[in-house]
Amino acid sequence: RIMRPDDANVAGNVHGGTILKMIEEAGAIISTRHCNSQNGERCVAALARVERTDFLSPMCIGEVAHVSAEITYTSKHSVEVQVNVMSENILTGTKKLTNKATLWYVPLSLKNVDKVLEVPPVVYSRQEQEEEGRKRYEAQKLERMETKWRNGDIVQPVLNPEPNTVSYSQSSLIHLVGPSDCTLHGFVHGGVTMKLMDEVAGIVAARHCKTNIVTASVDAINFHDKIRKGCVITISGRMTFTSNKSMEIEVLVDADPVVDNSQQRYRAASAFFTYVSLSQEGKSLPVPQLVPETEDEKKRFEEGKGRYLQMKAKRQGQVEPQP
């Protein structure tokens, strides 16, 4: 589809959340089709995780986004989908790759959305593909479980924070989940959640550096639990690390089932977003250095630094040092 002004920021760059939403829609379509390709109980595919996604090239207003999806692995209860996003300048015909993403879906029964069904097997063109996919499946399953348990904290507001501190730029968005946010079966589309997460992360980044900002990458997004229609969700973002030219923002999504007294507030999703600061000409600018104040903030800063150095080493083709 063509990118319009309401898809982009004031500088004309398409929001990362808009692209993530399109990626998720493509993944949901192909995985739901596959999971209903055989006779049996009907189901809908729900997003469980998005692997790290890099924004390789900016997309602008007026360009056409081409989103293509392919199933690359199936386990007994999950589907791995690879999605590519191309942008096309329809005036010049120029096309460029903007995103490559890997998503994991699970099929939920239409009769009972808390019941996970079995996935029809996929036919592989090479024998090695199944083994490679199994390794990716086991790795993401382990990381998703670990992430859920270490995300118990919440973002607390601070009065009169100092510039360049974590408290100065942290932001929250409160959203009542309505029918337009949800599937026909009453739980939120993963793409809607990711779009809101990117919006909050972008506000944090803009507050910190006070310039035009764009999404550079998103670390793995884990969906820990479904969000149902009628819930009030709080999307909170806080700066965790800054390098010379990038900012890492942690985003947490908490759901409060206000119409259901039997269920307490719970952590629904979490991720780390990386942003860069740009000049009016679109060139990279230095980022003001974050000033962590509390022990927890200093710990998160060091963890963010570790993730930054690890990813930098991967990009340079270096072997990661053993801890």
25 belongs to a structural domain: yes
> What are the φ/ψ torsions at residue 61 (nearest 5 degrees)?
-55, 135
45 close to 107: Cβ distance less than 8 angstroms: yes
Active-site residue identified among 198, 212, 219, 222: 198
Average of pLDDT values for 69-80? Answer: 96
160 belongs to a structural domain: no
Tell me the whole-structure pTM to 2 decimals: 0.88
Instruction: Say which amino acid occupies 305.
Output: K
198 is catalytic: yes
**Which of 146, 83, 81, 84 lies closest to 119, judged by CA?**
81
Total number of domains in the chain: 2
Which of 92-96, 156-160, 254-258 is predicted with the least confidence, judged by mean pLDDT?
Answer: 156-160
228 belongs to a structural domain: yes
Joined tokens for residue 194: 């990711």
Same domain, 311 and 204: yes
249 close to 238: Cβ distance less than 8 angstroms: yes
Q: Which residue has the tokens 């903007």?
A: 98
291 belongs to a structural domain: yes
Give the model's pLDDT for residue 18: 95
Give the model's pLDDT for residue 320: 46
107 belongs to a structural domain: yes
Active-site residue identified among 9, 54, 164, 256: 9
Which among 145, 176, 207 is the end of a domain? 145
Same domain, 136 and 189: no
Residues above pLDDT 70, as percent of the chain: 95
**By residue range, what is the domain housing residue 239?**
166-318
10 belongs to a structural domain: yes
210 belongs to a structural domain: yes
9 is catalytic: yes
240 close to 307: Cβ distance less than 8 angstroms: no
